[in-house]
Amino acid sequence: MRVDATGFFAAVHACGDAMAAKKSGSIVTLSSQMGTVDMNPFRYEGTPPTVAPDYFFPKGSMTNLTRYLASHYGASGVRVNVVSPSGIDNPAKPPAPEILARYAKMTMLGRRAEAREIGGSVGFLLSEASTAITGANLAGDRGYSAK
């Protein structure tokens, strides 16, 4: 909670105030789709869950606080958006093969994400191409939340 909630709020608030003083800026926060959807026990069937319940609360809070901050800073010309990925490959800590297979069935693209793909979403929201977007939650989940 100190990092995901209090630290998150303090950092975004400091940046937002500085940007508001300049009447311009774009803040992109990173949360998780687990703050928007449930864990879905099917994904972990037969294995111990790798996501603790206390993960969901701060991630959902980050997503909602991002929307609040978009409203708070919008009049000052500062945009605030959130990217909420799920299922990002980590070669140093790969999930069990059965979890990978189940996760693939739960996404429209049939796979997990690579970190570079999430970086592209953040880059878009920071760029001039997204100047009309604020308060948005961009789900980097290959269709997980829509399936």
Tell me the per-residue pLDDT of 86-126, one tens digit each, with 9 for 90 and over: 888 888 888 888 888 888 888 899 888 888 889 999 999 99
Residues 6 or more apart in contact with residue 83 via CB below 8 angstroms: 28, 29, 30, 31, 118, 121, 122, 125, 137, 138, 140
pTM: 0.85
What's the chain's average pLDDT? 87
pLDDT value at residue 51: 60
Per-residue pLDDT for 132 more than 80? yes
Per-residue pLDDT for 76 more than 80? yes
Q: What are phi and psi of 103, to 5 degrees?
A: -60, -40
Least confident of 65-74, 88-97, 132-141: 88-97
**Inter-residue contact 84 to 33 (CB < 8 Å):** yes
Q: What is the CATH code of the structural domain delimited by 2-146?
A: 3.40.50.720
pLDDT value at residue 77: 97
